Amino acid sequence: MTKTEKVDSKEIGLVAGLNLFNYFLGTKDLHYGFWQDDLEVTVQNLPEAQQRYSKYLIGHIPGDVKSILDVGCGAGGLASELLERGYRVEGVSPSPLLAEAAQTQLGDNFLIHSGRFEDVQFSLDERYDMVMFSESFQYITLNMVLDKAQSLLRPGGYILICDFFKTNATGKSVIGGGHRLDDFIEVMNDSGLKLLAEDDITRQTAPNLDLVDQMGRELILPTMKLFGYVFSNNRPWLTKLFRWKFRKRLEKIEYKYLSGERNAESFTKYKIYKLYLLQKRED
Ligand SMILES: C[S@@+](CC[C@H](N)C(=O)[O-])C[C@H]1O[C@@H](n2cnc3c(N)ncnc32)[C@H](O)[C@@H]1O
């Protein structure tokens, strides 16, 4: 990282989430949980729900796949499951902090291509059976991602995408992220890739947002109130200055996390969580 390059706040969010959930729940996954009817939506059940997501995703890997490029490999949770199942796996990570966590978990032999998928240079003879995007697709520039992924595949190789997209619902969502589904479909149709499977898992993933909502109300809000109480009593002028200086940021946090709109209902309206299995043509 050069001196002038700013640290991406999304990366900090992911690393903070990783540290928190790894410490309290022992999970290294950074993707949503896959909530089925028999699993109560509680934060304690999140690791089990994330395991089910990984299992669901891995269940869509065709039988002739042996090598996988895991784009946006996070802290290596999914790669570790893939390696255990005997796949040859390499990762791509733009985040030095997450790459370090993945390297610690998977060992020095695990090859991580450092950088954004858009920028990473692969050697000309590198060809994978599958390029996988597990909740990383939304971060990558849409108009190049399928072409680049395709160029890294052997003929007949696959692209597996599992991520959420924006619907056409009117109004403003407090939940950020996701390419517009219509834009993705256009890019997919132009790519020459064959669509082998498509699944809508919005119902199984939306409950994650109820957990976020609960965390806002039961953890973030009381913690902020506690700090506010202590500081406004002990350092009233400093508190006023802080509130004024960071008012925009505080308003944003309140709007995003404490407005009560970051929940499953709003996710289901503004987002659609989909799996796509695509295949490169043989010729
Ligand atoms: C929500 S996490 C998912 C991590 C992991 N795939 C999983 O399923 O647990 C998103 C991942 O995308 C990565 N990412 C963000 N922008 C990216 C880019 N331009 N190229 C490649 N990966 C990117 C992040 O570093 C992070 O590892």
190 occurs within a structural domain: yes
Question: Does residue 146 share a domain with residue 63?
Answer: yes
Number of domains in the chain: 2
pLDDT, tens digit (0-9, with 9 covering 90-100), for 185-216: 999 999 999 999 999 999 999 999 888 777 77
Residue 4 falls within a domain, yes or no?
no
In a domain, 115, yes or no: yes
For residue 174, the domain's CATH number is: 3.40.50.150
DSSP the chain: --TTPPPPHHHHHHHHHHHHHHHHH-----SPP---TTS---GGGHHHHHHHHHHHHHTTS-TT--EEEEES-TTSHHHHHHHHTT-EEEEEES-HHHHHHHHHHH-TTS-EEES-TTT----TT--EEEEEEES-GGGS-HHHHHHHHHHTEEEEEEEEEEEEEE---SS--SS----BHHHHHHHHHHTT-EEEEEEE-HHHHTHHHHHHHHHIIIIIHHHHHHHHHHHHHH-HHHHHHHHHHTHHHHHHHIIIIISS--SHHHHHHHEEEEEEEEE----
Distance 18 CA to ligand 1 centre (A): 12
Q: What's the mean pLDDT in 16-23?
A: 77
CA of 76 to the centre of ligand 1 (A): 10
pLDDT tens across 68-119, in order?
999 999 999 999 999 999 999 999 999 998 999 899 999 988 999 999 999 9
Assess whether 222 and 270 both reside in one domain: no
Enclosing domain of residue 86? 9-203+266-279
User: For ligand 1, atom 10, which residue shows the shortest CA distance?
Assistant: 136
What is the residue with the minimal CA distance to atom 27 of ligand 1?
Answer: 74
Pick the more confident residue, 167 or 256.
167
Q: Express each pLDDT in 122-149 by its tens digit.
A: 987 889 999 999 999 999 999 999 999 9
Same domain for 191 and 254? no
List pocket residues of ligand 1, CB cut-off 6 Å.
14, 29-31, 71-74, 77-78, 92-95, 98, 116-118, 134-136, 139-140
Residue 1 lies in a domain: no
User: How many angstroms does the Cα of residue 54 sit away from the middle of ligand 1?
Assistant: 15
Same domain for 177 and 136:
yes
Report residue 5's pLDDT band, with 50, 70 and 90 as the boundaries.
low
Task: Tell whether 3 is covered by a domain.
Answer: no
Residues 255-283 have pLDDT tens digits of 766 677 778 888 999 999 999 999 999 87
